[in-house]
């Protein structure tokens, strides 16, 4: 299509989380003349991303880092001039603990989310019983599933590695990332590479061994440019602020909730609620980068079937309780990045991150910062439990687990109800249906964590792709 009225395209972006910001940034990067308006309901940009600095502690209230095995997070940081602000996980503490019967044990070395790269650490781990270990090793001989259909994470892992490895290793690791019910979590929408390994090599163990053998001699994580996860020295808020600073003045409209969108001829009209209402002219294109339930509400008058698909994506919530202690109060050496807690332990805690070990500069000298995750599909009530009830519950379990005595020097509680989209079995097909329906609504795009990945790099990529698709129309 040619450019409408020969004017630079006017693009409205709804939602100022990382996905909406990445979309706005990409649009301006590719077409500096385009007029972008980014509507954000809240008083600041960043959505769930939020760093606070208090009493010498630097606390990430939700995400605290992003993965580097996909390029989009690092790439954006480079384009923002933030490369020298990226920091790596502390190499001295690159290990994770898993709780068994109330005690912390090292996760077997080389156990990558759901497949062992080394058999010896698995053979000697106290986390599994002898029978459980035998059953996991038997994975080598289990024939691959023939069907192409999606299946739940729980079904896949039990089928390949057995019930105990699922309950004691995979379930806690995956729950800590997706805050999901693994009986419903889609394998194909979250970790499809494990299905590919099964298909290609017949077994996860065989696939991992071949991959390790194929690596160039001497290759190790320490030789890589970045650790598997990185963050920014000044916190993830510094990334969203850097993006906002690259946008034209007046582009970002804070405290402005989009309540209705409609098409008028070739243009999109937007109705907003804000303390300083402003006449919103028409837009040539629109990107909805809100959580999917909001997109469903906005699209319902335009396409009921599309709205129904969006509304069907369920969400879970979490809360993060950050606790700072004097090092002398903590009995456990905290010699790792954190611990995950299996559901079978019946603890309210999903995971504890040893934040000030994982990354430097998180706590004043002589103090440690812990971030305790609760809620998810396992205990949805905890995401919204009043602080007065949540704090004592979390403290009791954390302090027992890590042998902590006395009062915390620092507390911060962040609630994130309904923020984690649940990629249930069939999610990929749902997103394909959404995309097909979207094609019927010209110059409208969706971005955000509900569709093709919940992690920050995926959200950035989704926002950037949405902007690129929109600009192709002009
Ligand atoms: C507790 C927690 C921990 C996490 N940890 C990690 C991690 O360590 N690493 C990682 O990679 N990912 C992590 N994630 C996931 C990742 O942070 C999120 O998936 C991602 O930041 C979501 O970005 P988004 O832009 O899609 O949505 P959001 O951040 O939810 O932004 C959506 C925005 O839309 C706005 N909005 C909603 N309705 C309207 C409206 N009608 N009008 C205008 N604006 C509206 C909202 O106010 C919000 O600002 C974590 C998530 C949570 C909740």
Q: What is the pLDDT of residues 339-383, one digit of tens each?
A: 999 999 999 999 999 999 999 989 999 999 999 999 999 999 999
- Mean pLDDT rounded to a whole number for the chain: 94
Same structural domain for residues 118 and 257?
A: no
The CA dihedral of 82, 37, 290, 177, to the nearest 10 degrees, is 0
Summarised one tens digit per residue, pLDDT across range 115-139 is 788 888 888 999 999 999 999 999 9
52 C-beta neighbours (distance < 10 Å), count: 14
Q: What is the CATH number of the domain that holds 290?
A: 3.50.50.60
Residues 307 and 356 in one domain: no
- The pLDDT tens digits for 308-329 are 999 999 999 999 999 999 999 9
pLDDT in tens, 183-209: 999 999 999 999 999 999 999 999 988
Q: What is the pLDDT of residues 52-92, one digit of tens each?
A: 999 999 999 999 999 999 999 999 999 999 999 999 999 99
**pLDDT given for residue 114 in this prediction:** 78
In a domain, 88, yes or no: no
CATH number of the domain residue 207 falls in: 1.10.3110.10
CB 258 within 8 A of CB 272: yes
Query: What pLDDT was estimated at residue 2?
Result: 40
Please give the structure tokens belonging to residue 325.
Answer: 């202690």
**What's the confidence (pLDDT) of residue 80?**
98
Ligand 1 neighbour 462 (Cβ under 6 A)? no
Q: Whose CA is nearest to atom 12 of ligand 1?
A: 455
pLDDT per residue as tens digits for the range 262-273? 999 889 999 998
Question: Does the CB atom of residue 40 touch ligand 1 within 6 A?
Answer: yes
User: Is the same domain home to 254 and 290?
Assistant: yes
Residue 174 has pLDDT above 80, yes or no: yes
The range of the structural domain enclosing residue 328 comes to 315-421
Q: What was the pLDDT predicted at 165?
A: 95
Residue 81 covered by a domain = no
**What is the CA(297)–ligand 1 centre distance, in A?**
18
Position 217 scores a pLDDT of 61
Domain-embedded: residue 140:
yes
Does the Cβ of 240 fall within 6 Å of ligand 1? no
Domain boundary among 219, 253, 285: 219
For residues 309 and 341, membership in a common domain is answered with no
- What pLDDT does 276 receive? 67
Cα-to-centroid distance, 17 and ligand 1 (Å)? 5
Ligand 1 pocket check: which of 24, 45, 48 to mutate, most ligand atoms within 8 Å of Cβ?
A: 48
Residue nearest to atom 29 of ligand 1 (CA): 47
pLDDT > 70 in the chain, percent: 96
Residue 227 in domain: no
Verify that 427 and 413 share a domain, yes or no: no
Same domain, 306 and 364: no
Does pLDDT of 223 surpass 60?
no
- For atom 5 of ligand 1, which residue has the closest CA? 63
Q: Are residues 456 and 363 in the same domain?
A: no
Q: Is residue 101 assigned to a domain?
A: no
pLDDT digits (tens, 9 = 90+) for 158-172: 999 999 999 999 999
393 and 415 share one domain: yes
77 in a domain, yes or no?
no
Asked if residue 70 is part of any domain, the answer here is no
Q: What is the pLDDT of residue 278?
A: 66
Using an 8 Å Cβ cutoff, are 378 and 174 in contact?
A: no
How far is residue 324's CA from residue 391's CA, in Å, rounded to a whole number? Answer: 13
Say how many Å lie between the CA of residue 184 and the centre of ligand 1.
22
- End-of-domain residue from the set 378, 400, 421: 421
Residues 240 and 288 in one domain: yes
275 falls within a domain: yes
Q: Is the CB of 170 under 6 A from ligand 1?
A: no
Whether residue 213 is found in the same domain as residue 289: no
Count structural domains, the chain. 3
pLDDT given at position 160 = 96
In terms of domains, do 19 and 36 share one?
Answer: yes
**CATH number of the CATH domain containing 343:** 3.90.660.20
Residues 436 and 306 in one domain: yes
């Amino acid at each position: 299509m040619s450019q409408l009225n020969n004017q630079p395209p006017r693009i409205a972006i709804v939602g100022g989380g990382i996905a909406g910001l990445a979309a706005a940034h990409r649009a301006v990067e590719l077409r500096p003349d385009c007029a972008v308006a980014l509507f954000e309901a809240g008083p600041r940009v960043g959505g769930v991303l939020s760093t606070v600095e208090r009493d010498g502690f630097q606390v990430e209230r939700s995400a605290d880092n992003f993965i580097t095995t996909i390029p989009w997070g690092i790439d954006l940081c480079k384009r923002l001039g933030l490369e020298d602000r990226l920091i790596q996980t502390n190499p001295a503490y690159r290990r994770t603990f898993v709780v068994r019967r109330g005690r912390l044990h090292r996760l077997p070395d080389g156990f990558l989310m759901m497949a062992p790269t080394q058999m010896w650490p698995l053979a000697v781990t106290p986390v599994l019983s002898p029978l459980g270990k035998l059953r996991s090793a038997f994975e080598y001989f289990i024939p691959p599933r023939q069907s192409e259909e999606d299946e739940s994470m729980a079904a896949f892992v039990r089928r390949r590695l057995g019930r105990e490895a699922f309950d004691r290793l995979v379930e806690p690791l995956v729950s800590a990332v997706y805050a999901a019910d693994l009986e419903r979590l889609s394998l194909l929408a979250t970790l499809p590479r494990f299905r590919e390994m099964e298909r290609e090599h017949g077994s996860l163990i065989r696939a991992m061994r071949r991959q390790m053998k194929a690596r160039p001699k001497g290759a190790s994580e320490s030789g890589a440019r970045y650790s598997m996860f990185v963050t920014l020295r000044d916190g993830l808020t510094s990334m969203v602020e850097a993006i906002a600073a690259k946008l034209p003045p007046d582009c970002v409209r804070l405290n402005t909730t989009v309540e209705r969108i409609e098409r008028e001829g070739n243009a999109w009209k937007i109705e907003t609620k804000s303390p300083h209402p402003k006449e919103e002219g028409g837009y040539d294109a629109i990107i909805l980068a809100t959580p999917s339930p909001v997109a469903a509400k906005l699209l319902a008058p335009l396409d009921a079937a599309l709205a129904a698909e969006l509304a069907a994506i369920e969400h879970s919530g979490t809360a993060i309780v950050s606790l700072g202690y004097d090092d002398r109060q903590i009995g456990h050496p905290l010699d790792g990045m954190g611990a995950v807690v299996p559901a079978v332990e019946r603890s309210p805690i999903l995971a504890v991150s040893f934040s000030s070990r994982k990354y430097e500069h998180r706590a004043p000298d002589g103090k440690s910062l812990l971030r305790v995750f609760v809620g998810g599909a396992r205990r949805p009530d905890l995401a919204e439990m009043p602080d007065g009830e949540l704090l004592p519950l979390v403290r009791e379990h954390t302090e027992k687990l890590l042998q902590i005595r006395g009062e915390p020097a620092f507390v911060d509680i962040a609630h994130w109800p309904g923020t984690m989209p649940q990629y249930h079995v069939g999610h990929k097909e749902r997103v394909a249906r959404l995309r097909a329906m979207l094609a019927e609504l010209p110059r409208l795009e969706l971005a955000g964590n509900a569709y093709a990945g919940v992690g920050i790099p995926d959200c950035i990529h989704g926002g950037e792709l949405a902007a690129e698709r929109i600009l192709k129309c002009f």
